[in-house]
Amino acid sequence: MERFNMEKTARTRFAPSPTGHMHFGSARTALYDYLLARQTGGQFILRIEDTDKKRTVEGAEEELYAGLRWLGLQWDEGPQVGGQYGPYRQTERKEIYLQHARRLVETGHAFYCFCTPETIKAEREKQIANKENTHYSGTCRNLSLTEADQRIAAGETFVIRFKTPLDGVTRVVDELRGEMVIDNRTLDDIILIKSDGFALYHLAAVVDDHLMEITHVFRGAEWLPTFPLHALIHRAFGWVEPKWIHLSVFLKPSGKGKMSKREAADLIQDGRSIFIKDLLELGYLPEAVNNWIALMGWSYDDHTEFFTLPDLVEKFSIQKLNPSPAAINFTKLDHFNGLHIRNLTVDDLAQRLKPFFEKAGYKVDIDVLRKITPIIQERLVTLDDAIPLAGFFFEEKVSPILDELIAKKLDAAGTLEIARKILAVLEAVPNLELDTVEPPLRTLVEKTGLKPGQVFGILRVAVTGLMVSPPLFESLAIIGREKVIERLKIAIALLEESNDR
């Protein structure tokens, strides 16, 4: 156990904005938040950052809740569960930000700005034309409070900007990268409060993190450039900063850049997705998704890779986090999914498989499914794979293809002959249990002098309609003698018909 984690309990927060589908990048941040909170006996807080009403998407918040719950990351405080530090939705905290911004203005750390978006835009264009760095020119920076208040009273619209130090440096510490020293001249007077009265992320996040007593902030590395500003805001209030942990960004599978919205949406055509809701539908297990994303940017040692959520709670540590960007590797997700599927109990797997069969249009008898499950368990990469592999168990009839029915190195006539012999064996046997069918069929193989694969292949295609199926004898027992014989007879008829031509 990490000594520093033992010292105090952590309060972490997952603070998404409800502007689109939840993807595994945010899921990974939430996971780390959850792990640290659980490990230290602290709290995992969910806060909705919805200050930009224009970008808020209907239903996105619900998708977030569903995604977190699916992954098993239940939050201790936040929407739907409440808590002592609410409200947990930023649009409900507008006044808090306004008061805090005013406080910064009064202490000389911020200022009212009356410049219009148009003048700012013109200013920026001029700077670009002159090859200067774009930044706020400082027109309103030294307006007196009394003058500003008069203009506000007169009805002028305003924003509140942070008064960034003009010189010197700002030193900040990221837990993964150590100290960063930034020249204050490269920092802009960012907007804290928009003209609509809502706070921008920079102010809202800082104020909330402090008020909610957040101890550790996990967030994406895309926040690194504004990190000094956020630290400066904390300091302007005289507050103690939380520990900052900037997580590496995810690159597209090729490793060439971040995935665009378009590319993310197109992935689904290949049966892959970065969105949590899709992963569920594609047949991935939340256990596998957690395992996979946990390892993208974190490792435990030089050989352990299989982790359940409780394992992760126990073993996670900030100091083993990796700051370098990581390319997404979907085949590794497949691997973990197979591993976790095999780790499930038969009963559990059968329950999870059921909706997939139903979605495919099958009427599922859970007792039959329970019998099927053990023989397909180690063959599944995703839950969805079960349908093409085992759908025939729930079909009335199967449709073998003649060419596939004909055994390797045999013609239709030869295959027909063998098929008839198989039928004879099956009819002679009292039932189709493993112990009763397998020995006589193997004897048959010996008598024919053919390869086991040739003989069993004929039966397989006849009974399952598939070239590739779960183990044959186990399958026969589940399908039942009556259906097996019926299917075999249909196959024999098919062979006879082709033989007649």
**Scanning the structure block, which residue is given the tokens 């520990």?**
243
Distances in whole angstroms, Cα of residue 336 to Cα of each of 76, 286, 299, 397, 442: 28, 11, 15, 35, 37
Handedness of CA 56, 60, 61, 67 (dihedral sign): negative
Catalytic residue among 53, 261, 363, 409: 261
261 in catalytic set = yes
Do 325 and 248 form a contact (C-beta atoms < 8 A)? yes
Do 357 and 369 form a contact (C-beta atoms < 8 A)? yes
> Whose Cβ is closer to RNA: residue 15's or residue 274's?
15
Handedness of CA 374, 379, 380, 381 (dihedral sign): positive
- Report d(CA 203, CA 49) in Å as an integer: 12
Residue 219: other Cβ atoms inside 10 A: 20
Q: How far is the CB of 321 from RNA (least distance, A)?
A: 8
Nearest one of 273, 324, 261, 264 to 297, comparing CA atoms: 324
Q: How far is the CB of 169 from RNA (least distance, A)?
A: 9
> Whose Cβ is closer to RNA: residue 6's or residue 366's?
6
- Report d(CA 240, CA 365) in Å as an integer: 60
Q: How far is the CB of 24 from RNA (least distance, A)?
A: 13
> Whose Cβ is closer to RNA: residue 301's or residue 500's?
301
DSSP codes of every residue in 218-264? EEEGGGGGGHHHHHHHHHHHTPPP-EEEEEPPEE-TTSSSPPPHHHH
> Whose Cβ is closer to RNA: residue 96's or residue 182's?
182
Q: How far is the CB of 295 from RNA (least distance, A)?
A: 5
On the 0-12 / 13-18 / 19+ scale of CB atoms within 10 A, 181 is exposed
Q: How far is the CB of 430 from RNA (least distance, A)?
A: 20
With residue 178 as reference, give the H or E element that holds it.
strand 178-183
> Whose Cβ is closer to RNA: residue 10's or residue 461's?
461
Binning the chain into helix, strand and coil, the percentages to the nearest 5 are: 55, 10, 35
Tell me the pairing of strands 110-113 and 159-162: antiparallel
Q: How far is the CB of 185 from RNA (least distance, A)?
A: 9
> Whose Cβ is closer to RNA: residue 401's or residue 467's?
467
> Whose Cβ is closer to RNA: residue 133's or residue 150's?
133
Q: How far is the CB of 501 from RNA (least distance, A)?
A: 28
- Report d(CA 269, CA 50) in Å as an integer: 31
Do 45 and 80 form a contact (C-beta atoms < 8 A)? no
Catalytic residue set: 261
